[in-house]
Structure 1
Amino acid sequence: MSKNLSGKSERKADARSYHRTQMQKEMIIQKLKEEGCRITKQRLMLLDIILEEDCSCCKEIYYKASKLDGKIGSATVYRMVNTLEEIGAISRKNMYKISCGEECLEENACCVELSDHTTCNLSAKMWNAVIRAGMKACGYIDNQEVRNVVVTPCECGK
């Protein structure tokens, strides 16, 4: 009996979450229209990805979008994210917030792009270990644990 009630409450919570996401999507679409933006299939797809998934960067959004539409370009993703930020629908600061400790098992929590354009995907546990080792090597910490990292995007255009 409790299993059945639990399933019903989970479905109700999922339905509320879906409804809230749909309302957010409709409000964002309305703001985009007010700004004179065309509402294309690619923009709708990107909006769905951003609303439904916890993406930490534009490259992650692009990676997920390119699986759905091989014709989408990374510039489209960056323009959409910039537009959404301009209309106040998202905050890029929140997109880059990573708040997992060593016990977290989140895969691909961080994607690092190197100067030769290769990327390195790190799990939350590995990301935490890299940050901790670097901070320890530079003398910033002794035995403290990294609890949270917030990366501020560079505005210099590099």
Structure 2
Amino acid sequence: MHIAEAETEEKKTGCYRHTEMQRDLIIEKLKERGLRITRQRKILLDIILEGECSCCKEIYYRASALDPKIGVATVYRMVNTLESIGAISRKNMYRVACSTKGACTVELDDDTICHLSGQKLNEVILAGLRACGEISEQNIRTLALLPVHEAG
């Protein structure tokens, strides 16, 4: 799908305004920094705003499918620039997917993948909460995971 088609689809679904507003604000900040807003930067920004990529490699693969002239270095520079203006944060950049059977896969920003059973995930979260001083003797009753871009 080309960017123009994606924008048309976003307009139909009602997601366009929120994404476009974010996009416009980011573009303004980039311009304030003296950067030209090139076609490649717009492509990268659109891909990043979709929020479906968990690492620079994924962004690169999607972007290079749209424009083969986009290089890995361009992606890293854009991500670093967006991070420096506060548009994105790579801190805690991971994606968690759990099945109904209690199995869980955690994909880290360095492309490491951890497969955890429901029991192991519970142990990891309990240990983390205790280590951070969030809980003392309590146990987890339920657990709800949200996609990273919604978890604010």
Q: Which residue of 2 is the match for residue 18 of structure 1? A: 16
Paired AA for residue 89 in structure 1 = A
CA displacement at 1:146 relative to structure 2: 2.2
Q: 1:49 to 1:12 in 2, by over 3 A?
A: closer
Q: Which residue of 2 is the match for residue 146 of structure 1? A: 121
Map Cα deviations across residues 1-28 of structure 1 (whole Å, 9 max, x no partner): xxxxxxxxxx99931x211000000000
Paired AA for residue 13 in structure 2 = D
Written as runs of structure 1 = structure 2, the 5 A alignment for 1:89-100 is: 89-94=87-92, 96-100=93-97
Q: State the TM-score, normalized to the length of structure 2.
A: 0.61
Q: Which residue of 1 is the match for residue 98 of structure 2? A: 101
CA displacement at 1:37 relative to structure 2: 0.9
Q: 1:99 to 1:111 in 2, by over 3 A?
A: closer
CA distance in 1, matches of 2:41, 2:64: 13
| Equivalent residues of 2:95, 2:108 under 8 A apart | no
| Structure 2: gaps of 5 or more residues | 1-9, 126-152
Paired AA for residue 144 in structure 1 = Q
CA distance in 2, matches of 1:101, 1:72: 33
Over aligned residue pairs, what C-alpha RMSD do you find?
Answer: 3.2
Q: State the TM-score, normalized to the length of structure 1.
A: 0.59
| Equivalent residues of 1:62, 1:77 under 8 A apart | yes
| Structure 1: gaps of 5 or more residues | 1-10, 114-120, 134-142, 150-158
CA distance in 1, matches of 2:109, 2:27: 31
Map Cα deviations across residues 63-90 of structure 1 (whole Å, 9 max, x no partner): 1001111111000000000000000000
CA distance in 2, matches of 1:68, 1:111: 25
3-state DSSP of counterpart to 2:22 = helix
Structure 1 runs, 4 residues or longer, greater than 3 Å off:
109-113
The size of the alignment, in residue pairs, is: 111
